[in-house]
Amino acid sequence: MNIHEYQAKEILGRYGIAVPRGRLAVSARDAAITADEFGGHVVVKAQIHAGGRGKAGCVRFAATRDEAASLYEEFLGMRLITRQTGPEGARVRRVYIEEALSIAKEYYLSLSIDRKHARIALLASAAGGGDVEEASQGAFARVLIDPCLGPTAHSMRALAVSLGLESACRRMFFGMVQKLYEVFTSCDCSLLEINPLARLSDGRLLPLDCKISFDDNALFRHSELLAYRDIEEGAPEEFEASKYGLTYVKLDGDIGCMVNGAGLAMATLDALLLRGGTSANFLDLGGGASKEAVRKAFSLIIEDRRVKVILINVLGGIVRCDVVAAGVAEAIAEASTASYALPKRHIPIVARFAGNRAGEGRSLLEAIKDDVFPIRFAETMDAAATLAAEAAGAEGRR
């Protein structure tokens, strides 16, 4: 789960880490008042979950209250495209106003989990700010943190020296890392990134930006963090799907895919790609999908206006093909009598059932006679992917 910058800073504040004064503005007037409060000079920051905002021009300095107000107006509602949002961009729905500070030097600092060593890794660089992604690997110093010890004084001292921090600053640096580590472990973070971490002209060390992601698997023990969830960030289908225990990832093709299991779902998209097809989505029904979940999954696909063809690839292990077929049948029946405006058109379905109750599943689907959704069957993944890719090509020519 990702959260906004202003929320991340709120959390840092709660753990005793000093952050710049800031407030979420609720109107242009509020932005102006906030600017007054912070002495006129502020930074106006669009809040979206993706990074790269600075380069996209949505973190800007305002020298007066009027400038703050007009930047607020400009940012709010704007569709922001950064290198992390993809071509669709993300709509700005919140604008954060922060005091402007005089910066002497910027650093990069992050905590994340190192897969190879199964440790929390601290990454730091003297090249902070928006250019850090272009910086070479060699520009980063990395320290693996032993979970029994936490960040040790000697390793942080060595790190501070390698970053070129002067001695007065090193103690502050160690104190901050200890607190960040506490945030990371107490909140079950998967990423905590401070970029830039700024050394101010007045000597203070302050996080100017902060990005936090939480480990979804650990959210069950952090009900206090759920309030930070912003369901409007990300595709609405993705949130809808998550309520049913499904994983949905929006892609940019035209073949709607419904598959059981993450690996098989990814492989199905890959097989389509090799046959000239492109997927509109990744959809994993998971290990034990119910009829309800399948119905929901299928509805998400048929309500997607980009979808020209639907590919169902189910290899029943624990999942039963007949349960999947029943869910699909319900969704189709619902669509034909739906009050919502289903684009009334032609959406061929290619279904491949194998394993647990494959025959029963196929019989259930064969019983469906619906002009909008003609169904064809395939025995193998090869045949299914080929049929679906061909059908999408044919639909494209219609």
Chain residues binding other proteins by CB under 8 A are: 84, 86, 113, 115-116, 118-120, 146-148, 185, 188, 190, 215-218, 220-221, 247, 249, 251, 259-274, 278-279, 282, 284, 286-287, 315-318, 354-356, 380-382, 385
At closest approach, how far in Å is the CB of 381 from other proteins?
Answer: 5
Distance CA 326, CA 291 (A): 6
Residue 216: CB atoms within 10 Å? 11
At closest approach, how far in Å is the CB of 234 from other proteins?
Answer: 10
Distance CA 299, CA 303 (A): 6
By C-beta, is 75 or 298 nearer to other proteins? Answer: 298
Q: What percent of the chain is helix, strand and coil (3-state, nearest 5)? A: 40, 25, 35
Q: Which residue has the tokens 């199905």?
A: 268
Which pair of structure tokens corresponds to residue 369? 């006679």
By C-beta, is 187 or 335 nearer to other proteins? Answer: 187
By C-beta, is 146 or 166 nearer to other proteins? Answer: 146
Distance CA 360, CA 382 (A): 22
C-alpha dist (Å) from residue 320 to 16, 241, 267, 282, 316: 52, 20, 20, 20, 5
- Asked whether 32 and 70 are in contact (CB, 8 A), the reply is no
At closest approach, how far in Å is the CB of 3 from other proteins?
Answer: 16
By C-beta, is 64 or 247 nearer to other proteins? Answer: 247
C-alpha dist (Å) from residue 211 to 129, 182, 189, 369: 13, 16, 10, 51
At closest approach, how far in Å is the CB of 354 from other proteins?
Answer: 6
Quickly list DSSP for 45-86.
EEE-SSS-TTTTT-EEEESSHHHHHHHHHHHTT-EE--TTT-
At closest approach, how far in Å is the CB of 238 from other proteins?
Answer: 10
Up-side HSE of residue 8: CA atoms within 13 Å toward CB? Answer: 25
Distance CA 219, CA 120 (A): 18
By C-beta, is 49 or 91 nearer to other proteins? Answer: 49
C-alpha dist (Å) from residue 81 to 76, 85, 253, 260, 382: 14, 6, 20, 33, 37
At closest approach, how far in Å is the CB of 170 from other proteins?
Answer: 27
Distance CA 34, CA 22 (A): 8
By C-beta, is 100 or 280 nearer to other proteins? Answer: 280
**Helix (H, G, I), strand (E, B), or coil: what is residue 145?**
strand
By C-beta, is 185 or 290 nearer to other proteins? Answer: 185
Active site residues: 108, 193
At closest approach, how far in Å is the CB of 11 from other proteins?
Answer: 17
Distance CA 317, CA 339 (A): 36
